[in-house]
Amino acid sequence: MLNKYARAFFTRVLTPFAAFLLRRGVSPDAVTLIGTAGVMAGALVFFPRGEFFWGTIVITLFVFSDLVDGNMARQAGISSRWGAFLDSTLDRVADGAIFGGFALWYAGTGDDNILCAVAIFCLASGQVVSYTKARGESIGLPVAVNGLVERAERLVISLVAAGLAGLHKFGVPGVEVLLPIALWIVAVGSAVTLGQRVVTVRRESAEADAATAGGGGAAS
């Protein structure tokens, strides 16, 4: 849902910055790699120590590389299958680092095995949600469904909650409960989204198989 509206808005906002990088000779692939490295550093250096506010700030500074690199490729007229593959693959790496950072916190100082398990479920379900669409498209299906909680929603919900929860260290009371709430929301939403995609792929594959069978019968 957020992808449909927010992505278009931020693409327009970041277009001048993308053009600036191109003029400086920076490649889209370099932006993709640097952005992913920054997200991983923010998640795996700060989150396991409970530094959610600063971790979120670092991640936010780098997460927009996901929009900048594609914008650069389009402006330069060098969009490619390799670029799309690299971008999608490193998105999964970045997402894994974010929820892995949460899991490490709850497995350690956070001392909450249930929330550790929820964070791991968010990590795994997010990967599978992405896989179902990629796999469906690879067998020729459109997978035409807007899931309840897709990647943009997962990141916004978890990072906003983490950043606000991090204000607890600055003396803001009660905000530490926001991250557990967000993780449960993302976990449930991801499960629903996975179900939506599986049902969609089942329906589309049945329709494609029926059309193929009908076409074969007509030809015979």
Burial 148-180 (b: 16+ CB within 10 A, else e): bbbbbbbbbbbbebbbbbbbbeeeeeebbebbb
Beta carbons of 73 and 79 less than 8 angstroms apart: yes
Task: Provide the CA 168 distance to its chain's centre, in angstroms.
Answer: 26
112 is in an annotated binding site: no
Say whether 135 counts as a known binding-site residue: no
Q: Which of 91, 111, 112, 209 is catalytic?
A: 91
Identify the CA nearest to 149 among candidates 141, 140, 157, 137. 157
Please provide the DSSP assignment of 84-103 as one string. Answer: HHHHHHHHHHHHHHHHHHHH
Residue 16: Cβ-neighbour burial (10 angstroms; 0-12, 13-18, 19+): exposed
93 annotated as a binding-site residue = no
Q: What are phi and psi of 108, to 5 degrees?
A: -110, -110
Residue 205 assigned to a binding site = no
91 is catalytic: yes
CB-neighbour burial class of residue 10 (10 A; exposed 0-12, middle 13-18, buried 19+): middle
Q: Consult the annotation and say whether 111 binds a ligand.
A: no
Ligand-binding annotation for 31, yes or no, is: yes
Closest CA to 118 of 132, 131, 99: 99
Pull the structure tokens for residue 33: 């790699």
66 is in an annotated binding site: yes
Binding site per annotation, positions: 29-32, 66, 69-70, 74, 80, 87, 91
Binding site per annotation, positions for a CDP-1,2-diacyl-sn-glycerol: 29-32, 70, 74, 80
Binding site per annotation, positions for Mg(2+): 66, 69, 87, 91
User: Known catalytic residues?
Assistant: 91
